[in-house]
Structure 1
Amino acid sequence: MTPSFEGELAVAVVDAETPGNVGTIARAMKNFGLSELVLVDPPALNPEGEAYGFAGRAREDILPEATEITFNELVENYYTVGCTATTNEDARSHVRYPAMTPDELSGHLDGLDADAALVFGRERVGLTNDELARIDALCSIPASAEYPSLNLGQAATVTLYELRELTVGESQHPETLHERAAEAEIERLYGQFENYVAAIDHPEPKRDKAARMFRRLLGRAQPTPREASTLQGLLRRGAERSADWTPEDDED
Protein backbone atom coordinates (compact mmCIF):
# COMPACT_ATOMS: atom_id res chain seq x y z
CA MET A 1 0.00 0.00 0.00
CA THR A 2 1.34 3.45 -0.93
CA PRO A 3 1.93 5.52 2.21
CA SER A 4 -0.05 8.74 2.68
CA PHE A 5 0.77 11.98 4.41
CA GLU A 6 -1.92 14.46 5.37
CA GLY A 7 0.19 17.52 6.17
CA GLU A 8 2.80 19.53 4.29
CA LEU A 9 6.35 18.20 4.13
CA ALA A 10 9.18 20.73 4.20
CA VAL A 11 12.95 20.48 4.13
CA ALA A 12 14.85 22.56 6.67
CA VAL A 13 18.58 23.31 6.52
CA VAL A 14 20.18 24.59 9.71
CA ASP A 15 23.23 26.85 9.58
CA ALA A 16 24.60 25.57 6.27
CA GLU A 17 28.10 26.84 5.58
CA THR A 18 28.22 26.27 1.82
CA PRO A 19 25.68 27.87 -0.54
CA GLY A 20 26.27 25.06 -3.03
CA ASN A 21 24.88 22.50 -0.60
CA VAL A 22 21.69 24.51 -0.22
CA GLY A 23 21.36 24.54 -4.00
CA THR A 24 21.98 20.80 -4.20
CA ILE A 25 19.29 20.15 -1.61
CA ALA A 26 16.85 22.37 -3.50
CA ARG A 27 17.57 20.38 -6.66
CA ALA A 28 16.96 17.07 -4.85
CA MET A 29 13.66 18.47 -3.60
CA LYS A 30 12.66 19.25 -7.17
CA ASN A 31 13.65 15.74 -8.24
CA PHE A 32 11.47 14.10 -5.61
CA GLY A 33 8.40 16.29 -5.51
CA LEU A 34 9.02 18.65 -2.58
CA SER A 35 8.71 22.42 -2.78
CA GLU A 36 8.94 24.00 0.69
CA LEU A 37 12.49 24.89 1.69
CA VAL A 38 13.08 26.38 5.15
CA LEU A 39 16.42 27.89 6.11
CA VAL A 40 17.80 28.56 9.59
CA ASP A 41 20.80 30.93 9.66
CA PRO A 42 21.62 30.37 5.99
CA PRO A 43 24.65 31.66 4.09
CA ALA A 44 24.11 34.39 1.51
CA LEU A 45 22.36 32.92 -1.54
CA ASN A 46 23.43 35.10 -4.45
CA PRO A 47 21.33 34.49 -7.58
CA GLU A 48 24.60 34.63 -9.50
CA GLY A 49 26.41 32.31 -7.08
CA GLU A 50 26.91 28.59 -6.59
CA ALA A 51 23.63 27.93 -4.77
CA TYR A 52 21.65 28.86 -7.86
CA GLY A 53 24.25 27.21 -10.07
CA PHE A 54 23.81 23.87 -8.27
CA ALA A 55 20.04 24.09 -7.98
CA GLY A 56 19.17 23.21 -11.58
CA ARG A 57 15.51 23.93 -12.29
CA ALA A 58 14.92 24.45 -8.55
CA ARG A 59 16.47 27.91 -9.02
CA GLU A 60 13.23 28.91 -10.72
CA ASP A 61 10.96 28.35 -7.73
CA ILE A 62 12.18 26.37 -4.70
CA LEU A 63 15.34 28.34 -3.99
CA PRO A 64 14.01 31.89 -4.51
CA GLU A 65 10.86 31.05 -2.52
CA ALA A 66 12.74 29.57 0.46
CA THR A 67 11.75 31.06 3.82
CA GLU A 68 14.13 31.97 6.62
CA ILE A 69 13.05 31.19 10.18
CA THR A 70 14.63 30.57 13.57
CA PHE A 71 15.21 27.15 15.08
CA ASN A 72 12.58 27.95 17.71
CA GLU A 73 10.03 28.64 14.99
CA LEU A 74 11.02 25.43 13.24
CA VAL A 75 10.33 23.16 16.21
CA GLU A 76 7.21 25.10 17.20
CA ASN A 77 5.54 24.82 13.79
CA TYR A 78 6.62 21.43 12.43
CA TYR A 79 6.87 17.81 13.42
CA THR A 80 10.63 17.58 13.04
CA VAL A 81 12.77 14.68 11.83
CA GLY A 82 16.47 15.29 12.25
CA CYS A 83 18.45 13.75 9.38
CA THR A 84 22.08 12.78 9.81
CA ALA A 85 24.65 10.42 8.36
CA THR A 86 25.52 8.89 11.71
CA THR A 87 24.50 9.44 15.33
CA ASN A 88 27.60 8.14 17.15
CA GLU A 89 25.23 7.16 19.94
CA ASP A 90 24.03 3.97 21.54
CA ALA A 91 21.32 3.00 23.99
CA ARG A 92 23.60 3.71 26.97
CA SER A 93 24.32 7.32 26.10
CA HIS A 94 21.99 9.17 23.83
CA VAL A 95 20.09 12.34 23.12
CA ARG A 96 17.71 10.87 20.57
CA TYR A 97 17.91 7.09 20.12
CA PRO A 98 17.25 4.90 18.25
CA ALA A 99 17.28 6.41 14.77
CA MET A 100 15.26 5.10 11.86
CA THR A 101 16.83 4.62 8.44
CA PRO A 102 15.67 6.63 5.39
CA ASP A 103 13.79 3.63 3.96
CA GLU A 104 11.75 3.49 7.18
CA LEU A 105 10.85 7.16 7.05
CA SER A 106 7.80 6.85 4.76
CA GLY A 107 6.23 4.36 7.14
CA HIS A 108 6.98 6.62 10.09
CA LEU A 109 5.23 9.57 8.44
CA ASP A 110 2.37 7.48 7.05
CA GLY A 111 -0.93 8.92 8.27
CA LEU A 112 0.65 11.84 10.13
CA ASP A 113 -1.83 14.73 10.17
CA ALA A 114 0.61 17.58 10.81
CA ASP A 115 3.13 19.64 8.90
CA ALA A 116 6.54 17.98 9.08
CA ALA A 117 10.08 19.06 8.32
CA LEU A 118 13.14 17.01 7.49
CA VAL A 119 15.92 18.84 9.29
CA PHE A 120 19.49 18.77 8.00
CA GLY A 121 22.34 20.28 10.01
CA ARG A 122 25.75 21.73 9.38
CA GLU A 123 28.29 20.24 7.01
CA ARG A 124 30.93 19.52 9.67
CA VAL A 125 28.99 18.77 12.85
CA GLY A 126 25.37 18.25 11.85
CA LEU A 127 22.80 19.14 14.48
CA THR A 128 24.01 19.91 17.98
CA ASN A 129 22.91 17.86 20.99
CA ASP A 130 20.80 20.78 22.19
CA GLU A 131 19.03 20.85 18.82
CA LEU A 132 18.60 17.08 18.72
CA ALA A 133 17.00 17.23 22.15
CA ARG A 134 14.20 19.34 20.66
CA ILE A 135 13.72 17.20 17.53
CA ASP A 136 10.74 14.82 17.43
CA ALA A 137 12.45 11.92 15.64
CA LEU A 138 15.80 11.03 14.12
CA CYS A 139 16.70 9.51 10.77
CA SER A 140 20.24 8.24 10.22
CA ILE A 141 21.86 6.98 7.02
CA PRO A 142 23.79 3.72 7.53
CA ALA A 143 27.24 3.93 5.96
CA SER A 144 30.66 2.36 6.21
CA ALA A 145 32.14 2.50 9.71
CA GLU A 146 35.44 3.51 8.12
CA TYR A 147 33.92 6.67 6.64
CA PRO A 148 30.30 7.23 7.71
CA SER A 149 30.15 10.98 7.04
CA LEU A 150 28.21 12.08 3.97
CA ASN A 151 28.24 15.43 2.25
CA LEU A 152 25.19 17.47 3.27
CA GLY A 153 23.76 17.49 -0.25
CA GLN A 154 24.33 13.75 -0.60
CA ALA A 155 22.58 13.00 2.69
CA ALA A 156 19.54 15.02 1.64
CA THR A 157 19.39 13.34 -1.77
CA VAL A 158 19.53 9.83 -0.27
CA THR A 159 16.82 10.67 2.25
CA LEU A 160 14.48 12.34 -0.25
CA TYR A 161 14.91 9.45 -2.70
CA GLU A 162 13.65 7.03 -0.06
CA LEU A 163 10.57 9.24 0.41
CA ARG A 164 9.67 9.17 -3.29
CA GLU A 165 6.55 7.00 -2.84
CA LEU A 166 5.26 9.54 -0.34
CA THR A 167 6.17 12.65 -2.30
CA VAL A 168 6.04 11.61 -5.94
CA GLY A 169 3.47 8.82 -5.79
CA GLU A 170 3.41 6.28 -8.57
CA SER A 171 6.75 5.28 -10.03
CA GLN A 172 7.77 7.25 -13.09
CA HIS A 173 9.03 4.04 -14.67
CA PRO A 174 6.71 1.89 -16.76
CA GLU A 175 5.33 -1.14 -14.96
CA THR A 176 7.80 -3.32 -16.82
CA LEU A 177 11.14 -2.04 -18.04
CA HIS A 178 11.71 -5.11 -20.23
CA GLU A 179 9.27 -6.02 -22.98
CA ARG A 180 9.74 -9.62 -24.05
CA ALA A 181 9.27 -10.39 -27.72
CA ALA A 182 5.98 -12.04 -28.67
CA GLU A 183 5.93 -15.84 -28.58
CA ALA A 184 5.41 -16.04 -32.34
CA GLU A 185 8.54 -13.93 -32.84
CA ILE A 186 10.51 -16.14 -30.45
CA GLU A 187 9.36 -19.24 -32.30
CA ARG A 188 10.52 -17.76 -35.61
CA LEU A 189 13.88 -17.13 -34.00
CA TYR A 190 14.08 -20.75 -32.89
CA GLY A 191 13.28 -21.84 -36.45
CA GLN A 192 15.92 -19.51 -37.85
CA PHE A 193 18.48 -21.00 -35.48
CA GLU A 194 17.62 -24.52 -36.65
CA ASN A 195 18.04 -23.39 -40.27
CA TYR A 196 21.38 -21.86 -39.41
CA VAL A 197 22.61 -25.03 -37.67
CA ALA A 198 21.69 -27.03 -40.76
CA ALA A 199 23.30 -24.49 -43.10
CA ILE A 200 26.66 -24.67 -41.32
CA ASP A 201 26.48 -28.47 -41.50
CA HIS A 202 26.54 -28.97 -37.74
CA PRO A 203 26.62 -32.75 -37.05
CA GLU A 204 23.04 -33.94 -37.38
CA PRO A 205 23.00 -36.02 -34.13
CA LYS A 206 23.92 -32.85 -32.21
CA ARG A 207 21.39 -30.50 -33.77
CA ASP A 208 18.51 -31.28 -31.38
CA LYS A 209 20.79 -30.71 -28.40
CA ALA A 210 21.96 -27.39 -29.83
CA ALA A 211 18.35 -26.33 -30.38
CA ARG A 212 17.43 -27.19 -26.77
CA MET A 213 20.41 -25.23 -25.45
CA PHE A 214 19.41 -22.24 -27.59
CA ARG A 215 15.86 -22.39 -26.17
CA ARG A 216 17.16 -22.50 -22.60
CA LEU A 217 19.47 -19.58 -23.33
CA LEU A 218 16.67 -17.41 -24.73
CA GLY A 219 14.37 -18.48 -21.92
CA ARG A 220 16.80 -16.93 -19.44
CA ALA A 221 17.62 -13.93 -21.61
CA GLN A 222 14.01 -12.84 -22.34
CA PRO A 223 14.89 -11.05 -25.62
CA THR A 224 13.09 -7.86 -26.57
CA PRO A 225 11.33 -7.54 -29.96
CA ARG A 226 14.30 -5.66 -31.40
CA GLU A 227 16.78 -8.20 -30.07
CA ALA A 228 14.76 -11.09 -31.51
CA SER A 229 14.51 -9.37 -34.88
CA THR A 230 18.24 -8.60 -34.96
CA LEU A 231 19.16 -12.17 -34.07
CA GLN A 232 16.86 -13.50 -36.78
CA GLY A 233 18.57 -11.28 -39.32
CA LEU A 234 22.04 -12.37 -38.22
CA LEU A 235 21.15 -16.07 -38.31
CA ARG A 236 19.47 -15.72 -41.69
CA ARG A 237 22.50 -13.88 -43.10
CA GLY A 238 24.81 -16.48 -41.60
CA ALA A 239 22.81 -19.31 -43.17
CA GLU A 240 22.85 -17.58 -46.57
CA ARG A 241 26.60 -16.96 -46.40
CA SER A 242 27.22 -20.56 -45.34
CA ALA A 243 25.38 -21.80 -48.43
CA ASP A 244 27.81 -19.85 -50.64
CA TRP A 245 30.93 -20.59 -48.59
CA THR A 246 33.87 -22.59 -49.94
CA PRO A 247 37.11 -23.54 -48.12
CA GLU A 248 39.00 -21.08 -50.27
CA ASP A 249 37.03 -18.21 -48.62
CA ASP A 250 39.14 -18.62 -45.45
CA GLU A 251 42.46 -18.60 -47.32
CA ASP A 252 44.35 -15.32 -47.61
Structure 2
Amino acid sequence: MSGGADEAGDDAVDADDDADADPRTAREPVVVVVEPETPGNVGTIARAMKNFGLTDLKLVDPPELKEDGEAYGFAGHAREDVLPNADEVTFDEVVANYHTVGTTAITGEDDRSHERFPFKTPVELRESLKTVDAPTAIVFGREGRGLNNEELSRLDEVCSIPADDDYPVLNLGQAATVLLYELRELTVEETQLPDTEVTRAPEGDLERFHEFFGEFLKATGQREHVREKNALLMRRLLGRAHPTEREIHSLLGTFRKANAKLEHADHLATKYDEPVYPRE
Protein backbone atom coordinates (compact mmCIF):
# COMPACT_ATOMS: atom_id res chain seq x y z
CA MET A 1 0.00 0.00 0.00
CA SER A 2 1.08 3.59 -0.55
CA GLY A 3 -0.14 6.89 0.81
CA GLY A 4 0.48 10.52 1.67
CA ALA A 5 -1.05 13.95 1.37
CA ASP A 6 0.50 14.57 -2.04
CA GLU A 7 -1.08 11.43 -3.47
CA ALA A 8 -4.51 12.26 -2.04
CA GLY A 9 -4.20 15.75 -3.51
CA ASP A 10 -3.19 14.31 -6.88
CA ASP A 11 -6.31 12.13 -6.80
CA ALA A 12 -8.47 15.23 -6.34
CA VAL A 13 -6.78 17.02 -9.23
CA ASP A 14 -7.07 13.97 -11.48
CA ALA A 15 -10.79 13.71 -10.74
CA ASP A 16 -11.25 17.37 -11.70
CA ASP A 17 -9.31 16.85 -14.94
CA ASP A 18 -11.53 13.89 -15.88
CA ALA A 19 -14.81 15.71 -15.19
CA ASP A 20 -15.11 17.19 -18.68
CA ALA A 21 -14.37 13.89 -20.40
CA ASP A 22 -16.66 11.56 -18.45
CA PRO A 23 -19.18 12.88 -15.91
CA ARG A 24 -19.82 9.37 -14.59
CA THR A 25 -16.13 8.91 -13.77
CA ALA A 26 -15.98 12.33 -12.12
CA ARG A 27 -18.71 11.27 -9.69
CA GLU A 28 -17.20 7.86 -8.96
CA PRO A 29 -16.43 8.00 -5.24
CA VAL A 30 -13.43 6.63 -3.43
CA VAL A 31 -14.04 4.34 -0.48
CA VAL A 32 -12.34 5.07 2.84
CA VAL A 33 -12.25 2.70 5.81
CA VAL A 34 -11.16 4.22 9.10
CA GLU A 35 -9.16 1.95 11.42
CA PRO A 36 -10.56 -1.38 10.26
CA GLU A 37 -9.82 -4.07 12.82
CA THR A 38 -10.43 -7.21 10.76
CA PRO A 39 -8.55 -7.90 7.51
CA GLY A 40 -11.52 -9.96 6.29
CA ASN A 41 -13.78 -6.92 6.35
CA VAL A 42 -11.29 -4.98 4.24
CA GLY A 43 -11.35 -7.82 1.73
CA THR A 44 -15.14 -7.91 1.74
CA ILE A 45 -15.32 -4.18 1.06
CA ALA A 46 -12.78 -4.50 -1.75
CA ARG A 47 -14.90 -7.25 -3.29
CA ALA A 48 -18.06 -5.12 -3.05
CA MET A 49 -16.18 -2.30 -4.75
CA LYS A 50 -15.20 -4.64 -7.58
CA ASN A 51 -18.82 -5.81 -7.89
CA PHE A 52 -20.14 -2.28 -8.28
CA GLY A 53 -17.49 -0.62 -10.39
CA LEU A 54 -15.32 1.18 -7.84
CA THR A 55 -11.55 0.91 -7.82
CA ASP A 56 -10.07 3.43 -5.37
CA LEU A 57 -9.78 2.12 -1.80
CA LYS A 58 -8.14 4.18 0.94
CA LEU A 59 -7.40 2.89 4.44
CA VAL A 60 -6.78 4.84 7.63
CA ASP A 61 -4.50 2.94 10.05
CA PRO A 62 -5.35 -0.54 8.70
CA PRO A 63 -4.16 -3.89 10.03
CA GLU A 64 -1.50 -5.77 8.11
CA LEU A 65 -2.97 -7.20 4.91
CA LYS A 66 -0.96 -10.27 3.98
CA GLU A 67 -1.30 -11.69 0.47
CA ASP A 68 -1.91 -15.15 1.93
CA GLY A 69 -4.20 -13.82 4.65
CA GLU A 70 -7.87 -13.22 5.30
CA ALA A 71 -8.21 -9.92 3.41
CA TYR A 72 -7.03 -11.41 0.11
CA GLY A 73 -9.05 -14.55 0.76
CA PHE A 74 -12.27 -12.53 1.13
CA ALA A 75 -11.54 -10.14 -1.75
CA GLY A 76 -12.30 -12.47 -4.68
CA HIS A 77 -11.09 -10.91 -7.95
CA ALA A 78 -10.54 -7.62 -6.10
CA ARG A 79 -7.30 -9.21 -4.85
CA GLU A 80 -5.92 -8.53 -8.34
CA ASP A 81 -6.34 -4.75 -8.37
CA VAL A 82 -8.50 -3.01 -5.75
CA LEU A 83 -6.83 -4.47 -2.68
CA PRO A 84 -3.13 -4.35 -3.72
CA ASN A 85 -3.57 -0.78 -5.00
CA ALA A 86 -5.22 0.49 -1.81
CA ASP A 87 -3.65 3.66 -0.40
CA GLU A 88 -2.89 4.19 3.26
CA VAL A 89 -3.93 7.74 4.19
CA THR A 90 -4.83 9.81 7.23
CA PHE A 91 -8.27 11.02 8.19
CA ASP A 92 -7.05 14.60 7.83
CA GLU A 93 -6.02 13.97 4.20
CA VAL A 94 -9.45 12.60 3.34
CA VAL A 95 -11.24 15.60 4.87
CA ALA A 96 -8.90 18.03 3.10
CA ASN A 97 -9.20 16.57 -0.39
CA TYR A 98 -12.74 15.19 -0.79
CA HIS A 99 -16.41 15.92 -0.46
CA THR A 100 -17.03 13.45 2.35
CA VAL A 101 -19.97 11.24 3.28
CA GLY A 102 -19.78 9.55 6.67
CA THR A 103 -21.74 6.38 7.35
CA THR A 104 -23.44 5.53 10.63
CA ALA A 105 -26.03 3.11 11.98
CA ILE A 106 -26.83 5.41 14.91
CA THR A 107 -28.65 8.61 13.97
CA GLY A 108 -29.96 11.59 15.88
CA GLU A 109 -33.70 11.70 16.36
CA ASP A 110 -33.91 15.40 15.53
CA ASP A 111 -31.85 18.47 14.72
CA ARG A 112 -30.41 18.64 18.26
CA SER A 113 -27.86 15.99 17.19
CA HIS A 114 -25.92 17.93 14.58
CA GLU A 115 -23.25 15.27 14.12
CA ARG A 116 -25.70 12.60 12.95
CA PHE A 117 -28.66 14.64 11.73
CA PRO A 118 -29.86 15.25 9.09
CA PHE A 119 -28.82 12.04 7.35
CA LYS A 120 -29.57 10.55 3.93
CA THR A 121 -30.55 7.00 3.08
CA PRO A 122 -28.41 5.29 0.40
CA VAL A 123 -31.03 6.01 -2.27
CA GLU A 124 -31.25 9.67 -1.27
CA LEU A 125 -27.47 9.87 -1.29
CA ARG A 126 -27.33 8.43 -4.81
CA GLU A 127 -29.72 11.07 -6.10
CA SER A 128 -27.81 13.81 -4.29
CA LEU A 129 -24.41 12.75 -5.62
CA LYS A 130 -25.70 12.88 -9.19
CA THR A 131 -25.50 16.66 -8.85
CA VAL A 132 -22.08 16.74 -7.14
CA ASP A 133 -19.24 17.30 -9.60
CA ALA A 134 -16.43 16.95 -7.09
CA PRO A 135 -14.12 14.19 -5.79
CA THR A 136 -16.20 12.31 -3.23
CA ALA A 137 -15.24 9.89 -0.48
CA ILE A 138 -17.59 7.41 1.20
CA VAL A 139 -16.19 6.97 4.70
CA PHE A 140 -16.82 3.85 6.78
CA GLY A 141 -15.86 3.52 10.43
CA ARG A 142 -14.63 0.80 12.72
CA GLU A 143 -16.34 -2.56 13.10
CA GLY A 144 -17.24 -2.16 16.76
CA ARG A 145 -18.05 1.53 17.13
CA GLY A 146 -18.11 3.13 13.72
CA LEU A 147 -17.20 6.79 13.28
CA ASN A 148 -17.30 8.90 16.42
CA ASN A 149 -19.09 12.23 16.72
CA GLU A 150 -15.90 14.25 16.39
CA GLU A 151 -15.07 12.51 13.09
CA LEU A 152 -18.62 12.84 11.77
CA SER A 153 -18.64 16.54 12.61
CA ARG A 154 -15.73 17.03 10.19
CA LEU A 155 -17.49 15.31 7.29
CA ASP A 156 -19.86 16.99 4.84
CA GLU A 157 -22.80 14.57 4.85
CA VAL A 158 -24.06 11.59 6.80
CA CYS A 159 -25.66 8.43 5.37
CA SER A 160 -27.49 5.69 7.25
CA ILE A 161 -29.01 2.41 6.03
CA PRO A 162 -32.62 1.95 7.20
CA ALA A 163 -32.87 -1.24 9.26
CA ASP A 164 -35.03 -2.77 11.98
CA ASP A 165 -35.14 -0.53 15.04
CA ASP A 166 -34.44 -3.52 17.30
CA TYR A 167 -31.12 -4.21 15.56
CA PRO A 168 -30.05 -1.45 13.15
CA VAL A 169 -26.29 -2.12 13.26
CA LEU A 170 -24.95 -3.90 10.18
CA ASN A 171 -21.64 -5.67 9.86
CA LEU A 172 -19.07 -3.36 8.26
CA GLY A 173 -18.77 -5.47 5.12
CA GLN A 174 -22.56 -5.77 4.82
CA ALA A 175 -23.06 -2.03 5.20
CA ALA A 176 -20.50 -1.27 2.52
CA THR A 177 -22.08 -3.79 0.13
CA VAL A 178 -25.59 -2.36 0.60
CA LEU A 179 -24.47 1.23 0.15
CA LEU A 180 -22.26 0.60 -2.88
CA TYR A 181 -25.07 -1.40 -4.49
CA GLU A 182 -27.39 1.60 -4.20
CA LEU A 183 -24.72 3.86 -5.72
CA ARG A 184 -24.16 1.58 -8.73
CA GLU A 185 -25.96 3.96 -11.12
CA LEU A 186 -23.05 6.35 -10.58
CA THR A 187 -20.33 3.76 -11.02
CA VAL A 188 -21.50 1.03 -13.42
CA GLU A 189 -22.41 1.65 -17.06
CA GLU A 190 -23.50 -1.90 -17.86
CA THR A 191 -24.33 -4.91 -15.70
CA GLN A 192 -24.40 -8.62 -16.48
CA LEU A 193 -28.20 -8.40 -16.70
CA PRO A 194 -29.77 -8.03 -20.16
CA ASP A 195 -31.62 -4.92 -21.26
CA THR A 196 -34.76 -4.78 -19.13
CA GLU A 197 -36.62 -2.34 -21.37
CA VAL A 198 -39.80 -4.00 -22.60
CA THR A 199 -40.76 -3.60 -26.27
CA ARG A 200 -44.51 -4.11 -26.54
CA ALA A 201 -45.74 -6.48 -29.23
CA PRO A 202 -47.25 -4.86 -32.36
CA GLU A 203 -50.92 -3.98 -32.00
CA GLY A 204 -51.79 -6.17 -34.99
CA ASP A 205 -50.43 -9.24 -33.23
CA LEU A 206 -52.34 -8.34 -30.07
CA GLU A 207 -55.59 -8.04 -32.01
CA ARG A 208 -54.96 -11.41 -33.67
CA PHE A 209 -54.56 -12.90 -30.22
CA HIS A 210 -57.86 -11.38 -29.06
CA GLU A 211 -59.57 -12.88 -32.14
CA PHE A 212 -58.13 -16.33 -31.36
CA PHE A 213 -59.11 -15.97 -27.71
CA GLY A 214 -62.64 -15.00 -28.73
CA GLU A 215 -62.88 -18.10 -30.94
CA PHE A 216 -61.60 -20.20 -28.06
CA LEU A 217 -64.24 -18.82 -25.68
CA LYS A 218 -66.96 -19.47 -28.22
CA ALA A 219 -65.76 -23.03 -28.79
CA THR A 220 -65.88 -23.79 -25.06
CA GLY A 221 -69.61 -23.17 -25.09
CA GLN A 222 -69.77 -20.24 -22.71
CA ARG A 223 -72.84 -18.02 -22.80
CA GLU A 224 -72.42 -14.83 -24.82
CA HIS A 225 -72.42 -12.45 -21.85
CA VAL A 226 -69.79 -14.59 -20.09
CA ARG A 227 -67.66 -14.66 -23.24
CA GLU A 228 -67.86 -10.88 -23.51
CA LYS A 229 -66.84 -10.43 -19.90
CA ASN A 230 -63.90 -12.84 -20.19
CA ALA A 231 -62.75 -11.27 -23.46
CA LEU A 232 -62.73 -7.85 -21.79
CA LEU A 233 -60.84 -9.21 -18.78
CA MET A 234 -58.18 -10.64 -21.11
CA ARG A 235 -57.89 -7.34 -22.99
CA ARG A 236 -57.41 -5.45 -19.73
CA LEU A 237 -54.87 -8.02 -18.50
CA LEU A 238 -52.72 -7.79 -21.63
CA GLY A 239 -53.11 -4.02 -21.63
CA ARG A 240 -51.41 -3.89 -18.23
CA ALA A 241 -48.84 -6.60 -18.99
CA HIS A 242 -47.39 -5.06 -22.20
CA PRO A 243 -46.41 -8.48 -23.63
CA THR A 244 -43.41 -8.70 -25.92
CA GLU A 245 -43.61 -9.92 -29.51
CA ARG A 246 -42.14 -13.27 -28.54
CA GLU A 247 -44.62 -13.71 -25.69
CA ILE A 248 -47.64 -12.90 -27.84
CA HIS A 249 -46.45 -15.21 -30.63
CA SER A 250 -46.19 -18.05 -28.12
CA LEU A 251 -49.75 -17.39 -26.97
CA LEU A 252 -50.96 -17.17 -30.58
CA GLY A 253 -49.48 -20.59 -31.31
CA THR A 254 -51.04 -22.10 -28.21
CA PHE A 255 -54.55 -20.82 -28.90
CA ARG A 256 -54.26 -21.64 -32.61
CA LYS A 257 -53.67 -25.29 -31.70
CA ALA A 258 -56.35 -25.25 -28.99
CA ASN A 259 -58.93 -23.85 -31.42
CA ALA A 260 -58.01 -26.42 -34.05
CA LYS A 261 -58.47 -29.26 -31.59
CA LEU A 262 -61.81 -27.90 -30.38
CA GLU A 263 -62.99 -27.51 -33.96
CA HIS A 264 -61.97 -31.09 -34.72
CA ALA A 265 -63.76 -32.34 -31.59
CA ASP A 266 -66.90 -30.48 -32.60
CA HIS A 267 -66.70 -31.99 -36.10
CA LEU A 268 -66.43 -35.51 -34.69
CA ALA A 269 -69.28 -34.92 -32.26
CA THR A 270 -71.51 -33.77 -35.08
CA LYS A 271 -70.51 -36.70 -37.29
CA TYR A 272 -71.25 -39.29 -34.63
CA ASP A 273 -74.10 -37.42 -32.95
CA GLU A 274 -72.25 -37.21 -29.66
CA PRO A 275 -72.09 -34.24 -27.23
CA VAL A 276 -68.74 -32.47 -27.34
CA TYR A 277 -68.85 -31.65 -23.60
CA PRO A 278 -71.48 -30.71 -21.05
CA ARG A 279 -72.75 -27.19 -21.64
CA GLU A 280 -73.66 -24.65 -18.96
- Give the TM-score normalised by the residue count of structure 2: 0.74
Question: Percent of pairs identical after alignment?
Answer: 56
Are 1:80 and 2:100 counterparts? yes
1:139 is aligned, of 130, 146, 159, to 159
Q: Give 1:100's aligned residue.
A: 120
Report if the CA contact (8 A) 2:38-2:63 is conserved.
Answer: yes
Distance 1:175 1:197, change over 3 A: same
The letter of the residue matching 2:234 is: F
Aligned pair 1:234/2:269, yes or no? Answer: no
Tell me the equivalent position of 2:78. Answer: 58
Q: Cα distance 1:210–1:131, how it changes in 2: closer, same or farther (>3 A)?
A: closer
Secondary structure at 2:232's aligned position in 1? helix
| Offset at residue 179 of structure 1 (A) | 2.5
Structure 2 CA distance, aligned partners of 1:238 and 1:4?
Answer: 52
8 Å CA contact 2:108, 2:117 repeated in 1 = no
User: Which residue matches 2:54?
Assistant: 34
Structure 2 match to 1:160:
180
Is the 1:26–1:58 contact (alpha carbons within 8 Å) kept by the matching residues of 2?
A: yes
Q: Name 1:128's counterpart in structure 2.
A: 148
- Are the equivalent residues in 2 in contact too, given 1:6–1:112 (CA < 8 A)? no
**1:201–1:56 CA distance, 2 compared to 1 (3 A):** same
Kept in 2: contact 1:5–1:110 (CA 8 A): no
State the TM-score, normalized to the length of structure 1: 0.81
Match of 1:23 in 2: 43
- 1:202 paired with 2:199, answer no
User: Which stretches in structure 2 are left out of the alignment for 5+ residues?
Assistant: 1-22
Aligned equivalents of 1:72, 1:210: Cα separation in 2: 69
* Structure 1, unpaired ranges of 5+: none
The structural deviation recorded for 1:119 is 0.8
Q: CA deviation at 1:235?
A: 1.6
- Answer with 212-221 or 107-116: which moved more: 107-116
Q: In structure 2, do the counterparts of structure 1 residues 171 and 61 end up closer, same or farther at CA, with 3 Å as the change threshold? A: closer
Residue of structure 1 in register with 2:12 after alignment: none
**CA distances 1:185-231 after superposition (whole Å, capped 9, x unpaired):** 11111111122223333334543333223222221222222221222
Indicate conservation of the 8 Å contact 2:28/2:54, yes or no. no
- Select 2:238's aligned residue among 212, 218, 226: 218
Deviates more, 1:95-104 or 1:215-224: 95-104
Contact in 2 for aligned 1:14/1:41 (Cα 8 Å): yes
Contact 2:29 2:135 (C-alpha < 8 Å) held by counterparts: yes
2:68 is the counterpart of 1:45: no
Q: Is the 8 A contact 1:84 1:155 kept in 2?
A: no
SS in 2 for 1:118: strand
Kept after mapping to 2: 8 A contact 1:192/1:236: yes
**Aligned partners of 1:79 and 1:115 also within 8 Å:** yes
RMSD: 3.2
Higher relative contact order by CA 8 Å / sep ≥ 6: 1 or 2? 1
| Shift in Å, 1:61 | 1.0
Pair 93,200 (structure 1): closer, same or farther in 2 beyond 3 Å: closer
Could you say which residue in structure 2 is the equivalent of 1:178? Answer: 198
> Per-residue CA shift, 1:60-96, capped at 9, x if unaligned?
2111100112333333333332112223564334435
- What CA distance in whole angstroms lies between the structure 2 residues aligned with 1:177 and 1:114? 31
Specify the code of the residue in structure 2 equivalent to 1:187.
Answer: E
**Is the contact made by 1:79 and 1:136 (CA closer than 8 Å) also made in structure 2?**
yes
**How many correspondences in the alignment?**
248
The answer on whether the counterparts of 1:200 and 1:239 sit within 8 Å (CA) in structure 2 is: no
CA distance in 2, matches of 1:99, 1:182: 47
Match 1:188 to one of 202, 208, 212: 208
2:77 aligns to what SS in structure 1? helix
